[in-house]
Amino acid sequence: FLSLRFHLTREKLQEVSERLRKDLIRGLGKHSHHKAPVKMLPTFVRATPDGTEKGDFLALDLGGTNFRVLHVRVMEEQQRVLKMDSQICAIPKEMMQGTGEQLFDHIAACLYDFLLSHNLERETLPLGFTFSFPCEQKEIDKSILIRWTKGFNCSGVEGEDVVKLLKEAIRRRGDYDIGSVAMVNDTVGTMMSCGFRDQSCEIGMIIGTGTNACYMEEMKNVKRVEGEAGRMCINTEWGGFGDDGSLRDIQTEFDVVVDEMSINPGVHTFEKMISGMYLGEIVRLLLVRLTEDGLLFGGRTSKALLTPEAFETKFISEIEEQDNGLENTQKVLSKFGLKWDTVDSCVVRLVCDAISSRSARLCGAALATLANRIRVNRRQERLKTTVGVDGTVYKKHPNFSEELRATVRLLAPKCDITFLVSEDGSGKGAAMVTAVAQRLARQSRLLEESDGETDDEEEEEEEDQ
């Protein structure tokens, strides 16, 4: 039963990878991106760290009911990114539903409190802004909110530039200022926080509550942005893969129920098959089916097992632990008020393994697609690259990372990939994006100055002649 429903053969994984490859191209296209399920959003991050970045930066991380302010120091000599200080600020529930002006005034006030308490209020520090809501980025410092999610519904923000709203709130106060601002997607932050430690890091991936990835694409393929030279980081938003029905052949009836019962039916199909927000619920639905079919717990369910979302994804990690797995399984089943025997607990472990393995393999197939694309883009026989990773599913599940890596090796045999776990992508990574943007701006200025001097010299020569 499990093998039939959840096992994906190598051929099927290759098919999935090929479908995603075509969707990446659609998402990059000037005229096809509107209808593409994989959005392929330009981030305007034009380079990864080269190790020469340095300085002090602020980072602001807004993505839920709390937000963080950080002071980050980048040290060129030791190739280190240090979190100097940080502070968590709550956003009252009524403010999440109030006006945008109230929200940004609150953020500006908390930012001032942080600066004041760390004697930074007279500094004008550059700021990396991680804003984890769907946005269309126009420039590195211009990002338009498409729609609120996660319980927010502040008026006057959708369709507006969130950097402008933040700067206006700071200007209204008039008691401090900030330097340049760089907007940062959390996936990009993951790639950049790893990129300072390993300069071959060109892919960022998150597998936690949700899932997403970014990678460095050749500018000539980014049709929505002018310019052909160099590269740009693309935020794939691969959680939307399959929203056009392309994954229907591998969706089970359990995936369909999870989608229908979610707050956003028909959206984020791929994410709902593999991320932490949904894996526990898929397992619960499967356990209910097996019990109702008389194959588990003597055919008797419990109130807890019949409660939607009661089976947390962390239980899967505990159940699949190598040493204490069986004992953990029995504890979880007892917590659910189920009458179990040893065979039941072994079957529950198999169920968890089937769901987490499918998740890891699908994620591995998607990552292999990105690695293969980078290799083909650069016409390299072999690609050597690093993936910066974050997210509780990747970090906490005992077998997930191993299975994901095995799938990537299978589907991207000409790519040698190193995996590096990110240290605070939304904090340190946001600072790194800002630091790299400053380095590029500085290099561009120097280039313009040297070109200007060359032009002056040429003019002087012409006058002499």
Per DSSP, helices labelled H in 336-399 are 342-377, 392-396
Structure tokens at 436: 């790299």
CA pair distance 92, 104, nearest whole angstrom: 13
In 3D, which of 169, 184, 163, 167 has the Cα closest to residue 99? Answer: 169
Dihedral over Cα of 112, 118, 120, 126: its sign: negative
Residue from 105, 141, 161, 186 carrying the catalytic annotation: 186
Burial of 172 (0-12, 13-18, 19+ CB in 10 A): exposed
State yes or no: is 198 an active-site residue: no
State yes or no: is 150 an active-site residue: yes
H/E segment holding residue 271: helix 269-274
Structure tokens at 335: 């917590």
CA 350 vs CA 58, 177, 297, 319, 333: distances in Å: 46, 56, 15, 10, 14
DSSP character at residue 99: B
Burial of 2 (0-12, 13-18, 19+ CB in 10 A): middle
Q: Judge whether 178 and 127 are in contact, CB under 8 Å.
A: yes
Walk across the sheet containing 415-421 and list its strands.
41-42, 231-235, 211-218, 201-207, 383-390, 415-421
3-state secondary structure of 187: helix
CA pair distance 102, 91, nearest whole angstrom: 11
Burial of 211 (0-12, 13-18, 19+ CB in 10 A): buried
Full DSSP string of 423-449: S-IIIIIHHHHHHHHHHHHHHHHHHHH
Structure tokens at 414: 């000409």
Residue from 35, 150, 335, 339 carrying the catalytic annotation: 150
CA pair distance 278, 86, nearest whole angstrom: 31
Q: List, in order, residues 6 or more apart from 231 with CB less than 8 Å away.
A: 46, 47, 216, 217, 218, 219
Q: Which residues are catalytic?
A: 150, 186
